[in-house]
Structure 1
């Protein structure tokens, strides 16, 4: 008799319970709730951290479970941010323009409003016309759909070209990194239609909610980020607990054998690559409104490398490991680079953590790879291995009378 999904995946209920408790505690202690123990800026930091945990889950699915080291998943994360950022910036600018033109002697026409919006948004790059990519910027529904569709379609096309050519290993990693670099370089251009190096700004201001304080809005995004992370964890566990997940893990362990058994390996790779790109896009769409700005530098290849480091430190092949790795490294990064960590005087030299943090992160990655390949998640494995097997007297082998639970404990 097959056990239920939650019985086979106890980490899901544990994770969702802890996430709900964490969200409730932050809500009660936040300024937006009235207690004020946790500042609004730190609530935003925690909300952004939850989004990074979600994209780390996507990275773990493609790398930890499927064995594909993608160095381009932060590009999908950034594209999701750009898609929602276009709507936020358009509608916010429209509110400003309409308020300004309302004082004119004659009421403005719709075309005059659109022209004024274009001048406000694209004047910084010497233009006043909307590029084609902004065709649906005034529609929240369409832009939300594009948050998933744009990263998904890009991953589908790129993955189809790469996997059908049977590019694997380090060569595939280099290709994904090249894709990210090409996209970032394109977005740096002023004629890309996305304001070049200036990027999109003012994303923390929700249109029509000017009277709502940021303390309240930050809590809304925290709730949305926590919900997305919980659903993402649930989806990842569900996908990997079935036949599809078994095939994916088989591809990671021995691709040639899985292919010999008759499975279309390329289709499975393409499916998980596209799925994780969509998850990354959703995470980016929730992250950048909390950050307030997005520019092409966010899509630089180094960001995807950091993502791989988070998953490696947390423990790849374990969804909770990816979450722990992303959360720990992200919060420590904010602490060190924010000037909160005290300088370390050595007499002959003073270590300033703002300058040394990346070196510490790199050393941590090397040490984990050499001495703790299972990462932080390996600690959970050690604890589980010490527990007695819960087999209720069932046979431990294919033959009747195989080693039973009582014998296993002796």
Structure 2
């Protein structure tokens, strides 16, 4: 793998950001809540990389990848909530005259977790919640299998374009509506809470845990960026870009377009799920609202603003919009009096985001990453109208740019 200048710059910037945040936090100049915000932002950047790979490089606009992100959070959240509840139940039964049996412990744990929805039995889907390795395996397996089944059905039928986007959004909505039910086995609208309390680490403060998760999120983002940079720089990357540009011609050349799409869809679903598994222990809670179709639309907006088809563009878009969203909606920006009324940024932030998306689409279709390319002189080479291929009918420079 040849590491490009952009990859070097990205990795060095990520290391510097992580070290600076660590030093400032240790010195008491950065709050624990903001460290968590940075860690969560890095996780969202990983999800944006997955979205950029499937949309920016392959041309498949999926409006359901945040569902895989949330499923990863649910899978790790089940272990976190079960293990933490088990510690509480064991401690409460320690003073009993007789030692509690395994069945009594199981019943106590189930009552603690599901009493809020009027149930006292542990659902079958929690059968592996006691085991961290098995639950980590489910973080990958559940979203991956869902993506494989959905992708096989959709790509086998050669559903493309806006129709595929609608199907992915319908899948997300159906999953969210199912999880809202109390009998879904995941506590319905209450979701899973207390995920920031790591079992066995009660003596470790949130200030230190937030730094650990920041380091883990930074490591995950760096490894994901390197892995995807390797993928898009090889033959696989060339094929998926060709599918984006002219699917019929790629199929005519003998490539199994559906297989490439299916592998890519499942791979990006797993990446999004791993990002969710890192995100929600920092957020502390997850509920079915996290699967709402609007979340996946936001993900697409981040990638578009940052510049799709550029890995660093996806990271820039996700980081910028996520941090600005936290700033505007966190009440840190004072309201703006306009004489005829008051502009409350908490209420108008989404309008501002929508206007930014429209503006980027109209005036900077390559996003912020495209502007960086122009400043760095990374545009297309000036071939003075020379052919870009061996044939007389090869594309000319102006045609290629368009």
TM class, shorter-chain normalised?
A: over 0.9
TM-score normalised by structure 2 residue count: 0.94
Is structure 2 residue 230 aligned with structure 1 residue 234? no
RMSD: 1.7
What are the Cα deviations for residues 55-74 of structure 1, in whole angstroms up to 9, with x where unaligned? 00000000000000000000
Aligned residue in 2 for 1:39: 31
Cα distance in 1, alignment partners of residues 218 and 238 from structure 2: 28
Aligned residue in 1 for 2:181: 189
Which structure 1 residue ranges, 4+ long, deviate > 4 Å from structure 2? 386-391, 396-399
1:105 CA displacement:
1.3
Consecutive unaligned residues of structure 2, counting only runs of 5 or more, are: 392-402
Cα distance in 2, alignment partners of residues 42 and 332 from structure 1: 13
1:10 CA displacement:
2.1
Is structure 2 residue 13 aligned with structure 1 residue 18? yes
1:111-150 alignment to 2 at 5 Å?
111-150=103-142
- Pick one of 172, 180, 198 that aligns with 2:172: 180
Q: 1:359 to 1:397 in 2, by over 3 A?
A: closer
Cα distance in 2, alignment partners of residues 217 and 359 from structure 1: 35
Aligned residue in 2 for 1:407: none
- Pick one of 225, 229, 238 that aligns with 1:246: 238
1:386 CA displacement:
6.7
Cα distance in 2, alignment partners of residues 239 and 369 from structure 1: 27
TM-score normalised by structure 1 residue count: 0.92
- Pick one of 269, 289, 292 that aligns with 2:284: 292
Q: 1:260 to 1:386 in 2, by over 3 A?
A: closer
Aligned residue in 2 for 1:158: 150
Cα distance in 1, alignment partners of residues 165 and 389 from structure 2: 40
- Whether the aligned pair in 1 keeps the contact of 2:82 and 2:130 (CA below 8 Å) is yes
What are the Cα deviations for residues 157-201 of structure 1, in whole angstroms up to 9, with x where unaligned? 100000000000000000000000000000000110000000000
1:385 CA displacement:
3.1
1:269-348 alignment to 2 at 5 Å?
269-348=261-340
What are the Cα deviations for residues 80-128 of structure 1, in whole angstroms up to 9, with x where unaligned? 0000000000000000000000011111111111100000000111111
Aligned residue in 2 for 1:402: none
What are the Cα deviations for residues 269-291 of structure 1, in whole angstroms up to 9, with x where unaligned? 00111000000000000000000
Aligned length: 388
Consecutive unaligned residues of structure 1, counting only runs of 5 or more, are: 400-410
Aligned residue in 2 for 1:101: 93
Q: 1:95 to 1:347 in 2, by over 3 A?
A: same
- Pick one of 336, 347, 350 that aligns with 1:358: 350
1:62-101 alignment to 2 at 5 Å?
62-101=54-93
Q: 1:250 to 1:105 in 2, by over 3 A?
A: same
Q: What SS does structure 1 have at the residue aligned with 2:331?
A: coil
Cα distance in 2, alignment partners of residues 10 and 186 from structure 1: 46
- Pick one of 204, 220, 224 that aligns with 1:212: 204
- Whether the aligned pair in 1 keeps the contact of 2:373 and 2:379 (CA below 8 Å) is no
